[in-house]
Amino acid sequence: MGTSRPPAPPRKTGPYAVVIPTIGRPSLQGCVDALAAADGPQPSEVVVVDDRPGTPGPLPLRMPEKLTDRIRVVTTGGGGGPAAARNVGWRATTSAPWIAFLDDDVEVDKRWGTQLDQDLRVGLDIGGVQGLIRVPLPDDRRPSDWERCVAGLAGARWITADMAYRRAALIETGGFDERFGRAFREDADLALRVIEAGWRLTTGSRRTTHPVRPADRWISVRSQAGNADDVLMSRLHGTDWYVRAGAAKGRRARHLAITASAAVALAAATAGRRRLARVGIAGWLVGTAEFLDARVRPGPRTAEETATMAVTSFLIPPVATWQWLRGLRRYREVDPWPRRPSAVLFDRDGTLVRNVPFNTDPEAVEPMPGAAQAVGMLREAGLRVGVVTNQSGVGRGLISQDDLTAVNRRVDELLGPFDTWAVCVHAPDTGCDCRKPKPGLIEKAAGELGVSPEDCVIIGDIGADVDAARAAGARSVLVPTPETRQEELVGVRIAPNLVSAACWILRAKVAR
């Protein structure tokens, strides 16, 4: 903590950036054209993330005149999936406090920009604002199975078809978990982590249309790969994640029962146990017939649709079961996202040691409760540790450089030598680039440790520490003291003490 505190920043909406991941689908052009045609404040920039595998050449995209100077294309190297592509996209944006994620097959409404501007005028405790999704269905017939599946997006929570997140929330949570390699559950995972980090999520008023894109008859079978993602969600968030994420549990239990009946029938027939085989066959046929009826009854009931439902209804239960078992094997034990940092940087006064304004006496240095234990835990785990501290007393002429060096040396003696010290000695009115809440100290310390700021966690006791971390792209933990303002506790990760902060950083592998 510094002895001179900057004023609390004013609340403002600020500009927003748009990120659109794509694999080059033709719908991308309509998405970008609709964005350009929307009224209201324009995005500060539009980042289209090309995630096509290989080296397919330039993305076939005609830049709308209205966005020509704002839109750019970045590449991922191909095939990483939408979670990884979105991470590349938001990290490629500059300083917009909000990132609006759109899928490349949606079209925003005409008033989207104006409504988004209103949606983002929210309290600092709001970490994300979802748009309203509309899925147009045919008026002249009942929707097909695939159309009903897509229509479910209209009621889904926190989907990134149109979801705006605070940059701070993305930084603190590490963005999207890139182990979700397909467009399924990665949005629910991020939402739960944002909520766990101290923010609330809400729904706005802006509207976006999500057309039903064409799909072949096997789409429902391929989509069963999402069962493995559900296992990952359970490992990360517990088996009740469905409730907290507002997600439907689906028919997995029935699929397992149908598949088990078929397996029993096959095993019994092989063993010559005909009665048991007949029981298994009956269970398999009854379960499959019920599943087929549930899919056909609300649909158009055409010959083609019915035939597709018949074939896929036999295939889906065993495929869903296999994908679920694959997930159980693959995700037996998983680490939380984001992974453990490489370094932890501490504020000095009020965090590592008790705050003595403009201290010149090494004997007055007193470690905060748990400081030695917390620093020792981090060192023992192999993490680098450093200090980032404002010491404007030097610039004000209240203490000498020798005094500062002696006090810092005493901190090293009491808590063990730190791997780096980054100190701003400038007076608050000099406009330097290092004084917190600016990111200079963190960038300097990270550079000296040979790591990226994204691989650091900052532990401090006031809002300037958190703001500096976020400006540098680093995560943060706030350990409040009597000096901490009430408004600084909003939308931040809080630990009651330094040991708790270290435990969060070193959290054990997740195994449920």
CATH number at residue 36: 3.90.550.10
Write out the catalytic residue numbers: 347, 349
Are residues 309 and 349 located together in one domain of the fold? no
Predicted confidence at residue 78, as pLDDT, reads 78
- State yes or no: pLDDT of 391 exceeds 60: yes
Decide if 312 is inside a domain: yes
Q: Do 417 and 282 share a structural domain?
A: no
Distance, in Å, from the CA atom of 177 to the CA atom of 87, rounded to the nearest integer, reads 9
Average the pLDDT over 322-336 and give the result.
95
Q: How far apart are CA 338 and CA 236, in angstroms?
A: 12
Token output for 379: 């060192």
Q: Which helix (H) or strand (E) holds 58?
A: none
For residues 398-420, give the mean pLDDT: 97
Element (H, E) at 46: strand 45-50
Q: What is the pLDDT of residues 432-477, one digit of tens each?
A: 999 999 999 999 999 999 999 999 999 999 999 999 999 999 999 9
Residue with tokens 């943060």: 476
**N- to C-terminal Cα separation, the chain:** 39
> In terms of residues, how long is the chain?
512
Burial 173-190 (b: 16+ CB within 10 A, else e): bbbbbbbbbebbbbbbbb
Report if residue 122 sits inside a domain.
Answer: yes
Amino acid at 309: M
* Domain end marker among 165, 189, 214: 214
Q: Which domain holds residue 228?
A: 216-335
For the cut 80, the answer to whether the pLDDT of residue 114 exceeds it is yes
Looking at residue 7, what is its pLDDT?
43
pLDDT of 210-261, one tens digit each?
999 999 999 999 999 999 999 999 999 999 999 999 988 889 999 999 999 9
Q: Determine the Cα angle at 407 with ends 405 and 412, to 5°.
A: 90
Looking at 306, 335, 364, the residue that finishes a domain is 335
**pLDDT > 50? residue 2:** no
Mean pLDDT of 379-404: 96
DSSP 3-state assignment of 273? coil
User: Is-contact 232 180, C-beta < 8 A?
Assistant: yes
Asked if residue 74 lies in contact with residue 86, where contact means CB atoms within 8 angstroms, the answer is no
Query: Looking at 292, 307, 335, which one is the last position of a domain?
Result: 335
User: What is the CATH number for 463?
Assistant: 3.40.50.1000
Give residue 15's pLDDT. 84
pLDDT at 5: 43
Shared domain for 321 and 350, answered yes or no, is no
Q: Are 220 and 314 in contact (CB under 8 A)?
A: no
Q: How far is CA 161 from CA 20, 59, 211, 392, 485, in A?
A: 9, 21, 11, 47, 37
> Is the pLDDT at 9 greater than 50, yes or no?
no
Task: Give the pTM.
Answer: 0.90
As a whole number, the mean pLDDT across the chain is 93
Residues 314 and 376 in one domain: no
Query: Per-residue pLDDT for 192 more than 90?
Result: yes
Residue 277 belongs to some domain of the structure: yes
What is the arithmetic mean of pLDDT over 323-342?
94
User: In this predicted structure, what is the pLDDT of residue 353?
Assistant: 97
In the structure encoding, which two tokens stand for residue 407, read together? Answer: 């006090």
Q: What CA–CA distance (Å, rounded) separates 54 from 280? A: 47
The pair of three-digit structure tokens given for residue 425, joined into one six-digit string: 């000695």
Q: Answer yes or no: do 400 and 432 share one domain.
A: yes
| Residue 364 pLDDT exceeds 90 | yes
pLDDT digits (tens, 9 = 90+) for 147-169: 999 999 999 999 999 999 999 99
Is pLDDT at 510 greater than 70 in this prediction? no
For residue 362, whether the previous peptide bond is cis, meaning omega lies within 30 degrees of 0, is: no
Pair of tokens at residue 510: 């997740």
Q: Are residues 162 and 289 in the same domain?
A: no
Nearest Cα neighbor of 433 from 443, 418, 445 is 443
Higher pLDDT, 187 or 7: 187
241 and 201 within one domain? no
The reply to whether 3 falls in a domain is no
pLDDT of residue 126: 96
Amino acid at 47: V
Closest CA to 64 of 38, 104, 33, 41: 33
Query: Does 11 have pLDDT greater than 90?
Result: no
Q: Are residues 164 and 246 in the same domain?
A: no
pLDDT of residue 77: 81
Angle at Cα 133 formed by Cα 210 and Cα 157, nearest 5°? Answer: 120
Tell me the pLDDT band of 56, cut-offs 50, 70 and 90.
Answer: confident
Answer yes or no: is 28 within a domain. yes
pLDDT above 70 as % of the chain:
96
- Specify whether 197 is located in the same domain as 225: no
Buried b (16+ CB within 10 A) or exposed e, 382-418: ebbbbbbbbbbbbbbeebeeebbebbbebbeebbeeb
The verdict on residue 367 lying in a domain is: yes
67 and 147, same structural domain? Answer: yes
Inside any domain, residue 4:
no
Same domain, yes or no: 47 and 20: yes
Q: Determine the average pLDDT of the residues in 392-408.
A: 96
Domain count, the chain: 3
Note whether residue 510 is domain-resident: no
In this structure, of 30-39, 142-151, 331-340, 473-482, the range with the lowest mean pLDDT score is 331-340
Query: In this structure, are residues 462 and 488 in contact, taking their beta carbons and an 8 Å threshold?
Result: yes
A 10 A CB-CB count for 198 gives: 17
Do 390 and 374 fall within a single domain?
yes
Is the bond into 437 cis (omega within 30 degrees of 0)?
yes
What is the per-residue pLDDT for 317? 98
User: Reduced to 3 states, what is the DSSP secondary structure of residue 89?
Assistant: helix
